[in-house]
Amino acid sequence: MDDDAMDGLTVRDCQRCPALVDSRSRIVNGVGPDDADLVFLGEAPGANEDERGEPFVGRSGSVLDDALRDVGLARSDVRITNCVRCRPPENRDPSKAELSNCRGYLERELALVEPDLVVTLGKVPSEHLLDRSVAVTKEAGDVVDVRLGERSQRVLVCVHPAATLYDRSQKDTFFDTIAQAADLSGLADSSDGQSSLGDF
Ligand code: URA
């Protein structure tokens, strides 16, 4: 991967995927602390993310925010990023080639951040990191060590937050897995989910 295309954790320009260059309004980079213990990995930006330039800011993002709040975490306590940084046309899944074109950016981001744990939100990011087919509903909560470039990375499989919007049992699975993520990364109850100004 041409690291030159990245400025720290940020991809400023990329023309590798012609269909995505056409469909995106902007590149959606990861957000959150550059030394986050906990990273959430989604698939690709949707319409809201493409418009606002931030991952998980639509309905799925609200579910993620709610689950984080439930375990005393704020969105700003964690890093949130995607396998692919540009919105695919008509919200289709990213192709294998697109995932592979963006892989170096993700590996570099994770190498710089060095999180304790990466939570894969849904099938596409789970299969991308585990490099095999994954039944996310069955495997949610499983912890796996994967090789990412030079590094070994601990990964927690999770269902996609969008799944909770139409299936109650997936909602329980999702919220339980986020609580497990907070525990595993040592973040459980380390924040009250509010700014410290709230104490005054
Ligand atoms: N779904 C994703 O996988 N990523 C986002 O950024 C938003 C929704």
154-185 pLDDT, tens digit per residue, is 999 999 999 999 898 999 999 999 999 999 99
Q: What is the mean pLDDT of residues 96-112?
A: 97
Q: Which residues contact 105 (CB under 8 A, 6 or more apart)?
A: 1, 5, 6, 11, 14, 85
Is the CB–ligand 1 distance for residue 115 below 6 Å?
no
Of 123, 129, 125, 124, which Cα lies nearest the Cα of 148? Answer: 129
Q: Which two tokens stand for residue 147?
A: 């090789």
Choose which residue among 60, 91, 126 to substitute to test ligand 1 binding: the one with the highest number of ligand atoms within 8 A of its C-beta.
60
Of 81, 73, 78, 76, which Cα lies nearest the Cα of 56? Answer: 81
Q: How confident is the model at residue 4 (pLDDT cuts 50, 70, 90)?
A: low
Whether 164 contacts 121, CB under 8 Å: no
Higher pLDDT, 198 or 137: 137
Indicate if the pLDDT at residue 195 is higher than 80: no
Domains, the chain, ordered by start: 3-185 (3.40.470.10)
- pTM for the complete prediction? 0.93
Indicate if the pLDDT at residue 198 is higher than 60: no
Other C-beta atoms lying within 10 Å of the C-beta of residue 19: 15
CA distances from 41 to 15, 17, 49, 192, 199 (A): 22, 20, 14, 23, 31
Minimum mean pLDDT among 42-56, 137-151, 177-191: which range?
Answer: 177-191
Distance CA 200, CA 188 (A): 23
Ligand 1 atom with the smallest distance to the CA of 28 is 6
Q: How far is the CA of 191 from the centre of ligand 1 (A)?
A: 24
Q: How confident is the model at residue 101 (pLDDT cuts 50, 70, 90)?
A: very high
